[in-house]
């Protein structure tokens, strides 16, 4: 696995070595010890999640609070998405900045989104299956969101807004400057 720090160094791009031949391919999609060695800290995933969506479905931007913050390792196993992570750690030098990257079944990239980030994605293919690991359980009482179209974030979702399909809940998310944020005790990459 090749790990690369993005322009927000705590967000990690993970690119597996893919071995292919006439039968298909093989790859390691997750290897705990190599990821922990790269990060310099332990990570313990407790749950795998998967969603299926059609073109234009935008899920996010989501995060959790009150001890339910999640680190996510996300990937696409069918189709393609634009995956977005927004730094919402108030003391972070990259507060309010975001990473937007294409994840697809073809490129097999993954993104490690640490605690203290709001996360979302939009499906750019006809359909997509999105899979991710988390290190804390889902808590509906502690789920929060940020507006996907917050003008201060300037996220390019790459599709025409007329194509966007959102849940009613995601349509109501506040702007970052009005969101309930906690002071995350997250170590920043140095």
CA distances from 131 to 81, 108, 111, 160, 176 (A): 12, 12, 11, 25, 26
Residue 140 neighbours by CB under 8 Å, 6+ apart: none
Supply φ then ψ for residue 46, to 5 degrees.
-120, -10
Dihedrals phi, psi of 159, to nearest 5 degrees = -110, 160
| Alpha-carbon 161 to chain mean position | 20
Question: Does residue 62 have an active-site annotation?
Answer: yes
* Residue 68 to residue 112: CA distance in whole angstroms: 17
Residue 154 falls in which region: left (phi positive, over 0), alpha (psi -120 to 50) or beta: left
Choice among 25, 62, 119, 188 that is catalytic: 62
Length of the chain: 190
For residue 63, give the 3-state DSSP assignment: strand
Catalytic residue, from 98, 119, 132, 184: name it: 132
- Catalytic positions: 62, 132
């Amino acid at each position: 696995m090749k790990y690369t720090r993005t322009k927000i160094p705590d967000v990690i791009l993970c690119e597996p070595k893919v071995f292919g031949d006439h039968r298909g391919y093989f790859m390691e999609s997750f290897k705990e010890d190599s990821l922990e060695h790269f990060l310099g800290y332990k990570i313990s995933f407790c749950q795998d999640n998967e969603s299926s969506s059609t073109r234009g479905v935008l899920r996010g931007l989501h995060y959790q609070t009150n001890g339910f913050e999640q680190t996510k390792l996300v990937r696409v196993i069918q189709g393609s998405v634009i995956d977005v992570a927004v730094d919402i750690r108030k003391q972070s030098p990259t507060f309010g900045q975001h990473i937007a990257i294409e994840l697809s079944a073809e490129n097999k990239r993954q993104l490690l989104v640490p605690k203290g980030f709001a996360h979302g994605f939009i499906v750019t293919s006809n359909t997509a299956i999105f899979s991710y690991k988390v290190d804390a359980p889902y808590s509906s009482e502690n789920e929060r969101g940020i507006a996907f179209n917050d003008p201060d974030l300037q996220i390019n979702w790459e599709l025409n807004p007329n194509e966007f399909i959102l849940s009613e809940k995601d349509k109501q998310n506040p702007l970052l400057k009005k969101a309930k944020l906690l002071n995350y005790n997250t170590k920043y990459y140095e």
